[in-house]
Structure 1
Amino acid sequence: MTEHPTRGSGRRPGTSQTREAILDAAMESFTQKGYTTTTVRGVAREAGVDPALVIHFFGTKDGLFDAAVRTRGVPLRRLSEVVPGDPDHLGERLVHRYLTLWEDPETAPRLHAILHAAAASEAAATLVRTFLTEEVLRPIAKTLAADHAETRAILAGSSLIGLAMVRYILKVEALALLPKETVIKAAAPAVQRYLTAPLDLP
C-alpha cells in the first residue's frame, strides 16, 4: 500500500521504520543497479512509499546516497577496530581486515557499490570522500603516535583503495588470483611504511 506524506506538525506514525525501509531499498538499489541508474522514484517504489516521502527525509538522490553509505556502509568503520595493538604490525592488521571485508559475501557488494559510485559521479565521489575522511581515516589518524598522522592515514587508505580496485573491481589476474594471505604479506609493508616509518614530508 502506498504511503503518502501528511501535512502538519505531528509526528508521522512509523517514521523510523519507514526511514529504515527507504535506506534498505536505497542501498539495495545502489548495490544492484549502481549510482547512476538508481532513482528516487525507483527506491520509493521498492520501499512502498511515495517519492515525496523520500525527498522529505533525504532531499535528493545525493542525500539518500550519503545516508545509505553512512548507515549501510558501516563495514568500512571496522578498519579502525584493528588499530589498537602493536604498531609495528598495524599495516598487516589493516590489510587483513580490508581484504576480509572485500571477500565477505555480505559486505563485498556494498563496498563495490561505494567504489563504483565514486567513479561514476563527482557528487557521489565527494560524499564518499567525506565519509572516508570522517568515519575511517581520521579515527585511524588519531591513534597514530607519529607526525603527519592524517596524511599518513590518507596515504595508507589510498594504497588500500588501489589494491581493491585492481583485485576486486578490475580483477587483474596477476593480483586477483593470488591467495589472500599472499596479498597481505606483499601489501602490508607498504601500508606499514605509510603509517609508522619516517616520511620526507614538509
Structure 2
Amino acid sequence: MTAPRRTPGRRPGGPDTRGEILTAARESFAEKGFSATSIRAVARHAGVDAALVHHYFDSKDDLFVEAMALPIDPRQVAFRILDGPRDQLGRRIASVFLGVWESADGQQRMKAIFRSVVSSDEVARLMREGISEMIIQPVARALDVPDATLRVGMVATQLIGVAMARYLVGLEPVASVDLQTLIDRLAPVLQLHLTG
C-alpha cells in the first residue's frame, strides 16, 4: 500500500494553526509594526496559505486585536465614542476607557499592555500605530477641525495619566474614588480638549 501523495504548496490547517498564526502575527507586528505587517507576510511566517489566515481572521485589524490580546476591540471603542451628541464626547470617552479598566479581566490585560508599552519600544510603536489607526484617526476625522489629531492626542495623554495613577501607581485619592465621580471630573476636561 502506498502512502497518500502530498500536494505541493502550503500545509493545511492543523489543530493549533490558529495559535501559530497568532504567534506569527505577534512577531511580525513587533518586528515590522502595524502598517508594514500584511496578512500575506503573516501567512508566510506561519507556513500557511493567506486564505487560511482569512479563514480565522477577517482582516488585519482583527488579527491585531487578537494577537495583542486587547480586552476590547478598538474599532468598537471608536464606534461607541462617536455614537451620540458631540457635546457628550468627553463623557463617552471617559466612560468607555475607564469601563475597560474596571473589569477584572480588562484591568489585568490593560496592566500587561501598559507595562509592555513602557518597557519595550517595539510594543510601544505597535500599540501607537494600531490604536492611532483604529481609534485616534476615526475620532479626529469626526471632529472635523484643523487641529483634531492634536486634540485627540491630548485626550489620550489625560487617559493614560489617569490609568497610570489609578490602576498602576495607586495614587490616592484617585485610586479609590468611585468610578462615577472620576468620570464626572474627567469628562469636562476631555470635552475641553475636543471642542473647547
Q: TM-score, normalised by structure 1?
A: 0.67
CA distance in 1, matches of 2:164, 2:89: 22
CA distance in 2, matches of 1:9, 1:161: 50
TM-superposed CA distance for 1:172, in Å, is 1.0
Instruction: Mark the CA change 1:147 to 1:171 in structure 2 (over 3 Å): closer, same or farther.
Output: same
Map of 1:159 onto structure 2? 158
How many angstroms does 1:74 deviate by? 5.9
Could you tell me which runs of 5 or more consecutive residues in structure 1 were left unpaired when the two chains were aligned. Answer: 1-7, 28-34, 36-53, 59-65, 198-202
Name the amino acid aligned to 1:75.
I
Which AA in structure 1 matches 2:70? G
Cα distance in 2 between the residues matched to 1:160 and 1:57: 36
User: Contact conserved, 1:153 with 1:194, CA < 8 A, in 2?
Assistant: yes
- Relative to structure 1, the CA distance from residue 104 to residue 170 in structure 2 (aligned partners, 3 Å threshold; closer, same or farther) is same
Deviation per residue, 1:62-105 (Å, 9 max, x gap):
xxxx9975323261513212212111111011101111100112
Aligned to 2:105, what secondary structure does the other structure show? coil
CA separation in 1, counterparts of 2:181 and 2:114? 24
Amino acid at match of 2:121: E
- TM-score, length-scaled by structure 2: 0.69
RMSD across aligned C-alpha pairs, in angstroms? 3.3
Matches within 5 A, 1:32-181: 56-57=45-46, 70-71=65-66, 72-73=69-70, 75=72, 77=74, 78-80=76-78, 81-181=80-180
**Range that drifts further, 184-193 or 130-139:** 130-139
Displacement of 1:21 in angstroms is 6.0
Percent identical:
31
